[in-house]
Chains A and B, each alone.
Chain A
Amino acid sequence: MSDRTFQNESPLDFSIASHRDDFNGAVGLVRKRIEQREYVAKPIVEGRRRDCSEQISSLDPAAPSRIVGTVHLADTHLAQEALDSLATGARIFNEMGYEKRAHCLLRLGDLMARRRNELAALMIYEAGKPWKEADADVCEAIDFCRYYAIEMLKLGPPRQLMQVTGETNYYFYRPRGLGVVIAPWNFPLAIPCGMTVASLVTGNPTILKPAEQTSVIASEFAALVLEAGVPPNAFAFLPALGESVGKFLVESPQVHVICFTGSRDVGLQILRAGATVPAGQNHVKRVITEMGGKNAAIIDEDADLDEAVKGVLYSAFGFAGQKCSACSRVIAVGDSYEPFLSRLCDATGDLLVGHPEDPATFLNPLIDQTSQERVLREIADARGVHTLAFQGEVPSEGFYVPATIFRDVETRSRLWQEELFAPVLACRQASNFLEAIEMANNTQYALTGGVFSRSPKNIEYAYQHFEAGNLYINRSTTGAIVCRQPFGGYRLSGIGSKAGGPDYLLQFVDPRTVTENSMRRGFTPELV
């Protein structure tokens, strides 16, 4: 197994009719299960599904009258029980060894691969994800399992460092301890999966707290984690409210690693809470946060507008802009501004809006009513300040927000600075490429960036000076692929970790060195 090389799970080729038919079959199957109310997400502690008195409904954002499933919400008592159970299991899980844990991940990847269409279909209903995006989400989840498994096999064996006669030096890793994963809803399978399996494979018993909005899909994942062979006291699943149980877990002295992906404000709160050492805690918590972005694409004066419009269209409005990698600002250099904007607005107007169960749908709804109301408010405010270049139309049912483009947006404005997580794009002109880079960098974030240019010199300049964890040249700025584009940002976009990259697992372990003096009584075996 150690010679197994990593290969990405292939996305479906939807140009093949039988692939579309199979996928459509899964969509129909899931819809039927939803109608029969088969989906119930419950906390899992000690391998047992727990009933809770507090319950919420998970809704289809495109048709909110449809209840996708019922979610039982854990309280802090159950959270404490989970912590205690995992604390008991920690030692056994460590002694299980990295190879067996890596095997669990490989099995988990295979289990998901076998059910990939069904998992994707569930995402269509619970997160409002269009077909292709949902399929990519499952592929990414599978990739995380396989990639981290193979990385762990490389990381696991103790290494001999510099050896001097008379001593042996070993360098190896130990798990940090109990891990808590706090996941977002926008990649409802890939991100919770990636964070959870990274924590598990390195030997940390782990609690997964999914986003409330996508607890059903997370609960399907949780069941598979146990099916793959992770011991019941090494993994717990706690659907719950962030404000109560999330906060409780973050503050618990029993927790060693917190792995979070979500908004900047919550991320910073967790960092603060993690830095506090309560009585009885004899360690420093490691907090891994991946937060937002206010990502810019630069359209150079010599850009290929065919590619630029297509790339921005997908980066800004794919999954309705609800990706931390989404493009929300465009800076067009000089004379490219007007023709770019005009083609972009026309193209945006013709994007197909609809229920994501329809494969043709490009623009899907936002995740919930709260998001919808917040974004509509922001758009209304922005309309009072900025020039509207384009606004599309959306159905009245569902949490849709129209694709919206503003032009000539001031760099100091809220619209230029604040992440909206929505299909809203702020555009402006720069007089030259250097100024464009400056404008792009004029934000708290540094997550993704895009450059459409055919000037070798400007591309080189962007390599050096465009502040972005993931910079994309002449292509869309979303859709990072495990191992090919390790993903993550710096500045207030995150602490600089790269999911799906070679350094990711190191955040979940403590390195140790053991030196043994091999000379006893003036006699050393090497010299015999």
Chain B
Amino acid sequence: MTQAHVPSSSTVSDSFQTEVVSFGKQIFQQLGKEQPGAFNKNFWSGRIMEWSMTQKDFKTNMFRLVDVLPSLRNSEAIATHVNEYLSDAAKNIHGLVEWGVNVDPKGLRAKVTALMVKQSVKQMASQFIAGETPEGSLKQIRRLRKLQLACTVDLLGEYCLSEKEAQEYLKRYMDALVVFSREIPKWKESEPLIPGHPGESSAVCISVKLSALYSQCSSLNAKRSVEILSERLFTIARYAQQHGALIYCDAEDTAHNPMIYQVFQNVFGDSEFRNFPYPGIVLQAYLKDSEARLYELLEFAKTRGAPIAVRLVKGAYWDMETVLSQQNNWESPVFSKKESSDANYEKLTRILLENQQHFLPAFGSHNVRSLSFACCYAKHLGLTPADFELQMLYGMAEPIARAFQKQGYLVRLYVPLGELLPGMGYLVRRLLENTSNESFLRHTFFDSNEIETLLAEPTFKG
């Protein structure tokens, strides 16, 4: 790491901070009273969220129930689990009794309960998951493009425990590429949302979870894991190149990340993919070593001689990293305070934007402050909306996505596809995120925190 990489100023000026806040206020103004579907109390999910945020026991039990539902094979099993998880909560929450908590699992009403619960959870899942198959998701993707929103598609799945399952995953990625690259270019909505934006060189974009492609992927098997994963990503990338699709490699937990970055560099550093447009990788700002990682990516982009896309996120494995490091007495790889991740996010944002000639920065967040900071800093550097993009999760924060889109920025949604079983795990993670005490969306749409507080500059807290 050389001095040259250090951002132009270690802190930004007060006037710049004022600019960020006033930009953020504009976004909030646009939001008006609009709520993300998940928080809408007219829907089942909105009420569940409300109870989850006010009653901690309910939250744990409800989410555990949601998690187990798809593996329950008949109405008796569903009614039994509903009782086991929710009968205590039903004492305080009258609405639950209406939904059939405490019915006799063997009785007739159990069938009604089961049906209702299943339908409700399916409805809830459909807010976050665009479909079970690539074909089944086309309608949603097209709807998003009509709303001027770009997509990257993610395939949800179970753990990959055998090579048979790894091959199935690989095939799913290939099938998804086939379907999307055959169908999407036919639409008039496939025209670039922002002409000349590198992220819109194709309307087809997938996010690959690398560890799903090899069943024996482990850091103790690092050499072989990297070889095999590189080989399999080559296959996907070759196909994507032929069909003009874009690729992101998702980041995972710290046990897998070193291999993921290695595989990404192996494949997209190869001369075969010299012209692959903006291959994407993910950087997690909650990691203490993320800045060093970013400089490594910068070096890679320079060596490659063509820019790469970097999706900057806060990171989705915080609980897992924290538990694992605490149980093993390891130094935690993640910042313990959420605000530190937010502060680091802004630091990394600046480095990304200052090196924009080597990167397509993609700011993945639902936090209006983080995104406003990125937009203002880009402007400050003289960059245009064609030089970077914003990314959000499908179904999590539509009003925020639209507000930024209306300001002229490219917003890409991360759209998961998959069956109900693996989908539930994803759904539960989203519900937890929305109801967490640290959640920006919760603070915005449920707690109605002061806008000034929501837009305040984050500082490192360790």
Contact = CB atoms under 8 A, between A and B. Distances in A.
B67 A15 contact: no
A304 B128 CA distance: 21
B328 A309 contact: no
Contact of A346 (B67, B165, B216): B165
Interface string B71-87: 11100010011001100
A10 B161 contact: no
B64 A350 contact: no
Interface in A358-388: 359-360, 362
Most buried by A among B215, B219, B220, B221: B220
A347 B330 contact: no
B453 interface: no
A280 interface: no
Interface stretch (A155-163, A451-459, A462-470): A451-459
B16 interface: no
Interface in A445-494: 454-457
A303 interface: yes
Interface string A1-16: 0000001101101110
Nearest to B72: A302
Contact of B220 (A11, A14, A304): A14
A454 B68 contact: yes
B164 interface: yes
B322 interface: no
Contacts of A48: none
A349 interface: yes
Contacts of A13: 328, 330
Interface residues of A, number: 35
A108 interface: no
Interface in A1-35: 7-8, 10-11, 13-15, 17, 20
A120 to B, nearest CB: 13
Given A15-B258, A359-B220, A350 B162 contact: yes
B263 to A, nearest CB: 15
Contact of A304 (B71, B215, B218): B71
Interface string A86-109: 000000000000000000000000
B81 A455 contact: yes
Given A10-B330, A305-B158, A350 B220 contact: no
B220 A302 contact: no
A360 B221 contact: yes
Interface string B149-185: 0000000001101111100000000000000000000
Nearest to A460: B84
B84 A7 contact: no
A346 B81 contact: no
A419 B228 CA distance: 38
A131 B218 CA distance: 13
Interface in B317-356: 328-330
A457 B84 contact: yes
A17 B84 contact: no
B216 A306 contact: no
A352 B328 contact: no
A476 to B, nearest CB: 14
A290 interface: no
B222 interface: yes
A381 B73 CA distance: 37
B228 to A, nearest CB: 11
A272 interface: no
B161 A347 contact: yes
B162 A7 contact: no
Given A350-B216, A360-B220, A360-B224, A343 B328 contact: no
Contacts of B219: 14-15, 20
Interface in B243-276: 254-256, 258
Most buried by B among A131, A310, A455: A455
Interface string B220-233: 11111000000000
A8 B326 CA distance: 11
Contact of B80 (A15, A306, A313, A455): A455
A335 interface: yes
Interface of B: 64, 67-68, 71-73, 77, 80-81, 84-85, 158-159, 161-165, 215-216, 218-224, 254-256, 258, 328-330
10 contacts: A10-B330, A13-B328, A15-B256, A15-B258, A305-B158, A306-B158, A360-B221, A454-B71, A455-B80, A456-B85
Query: 9 nearest interchain CB pairs?
Result: A346-B162, A360-B221, A454-B68, A15-B219, A347-B161, A306-B159, A10-B329, A15-B255, A359-B220
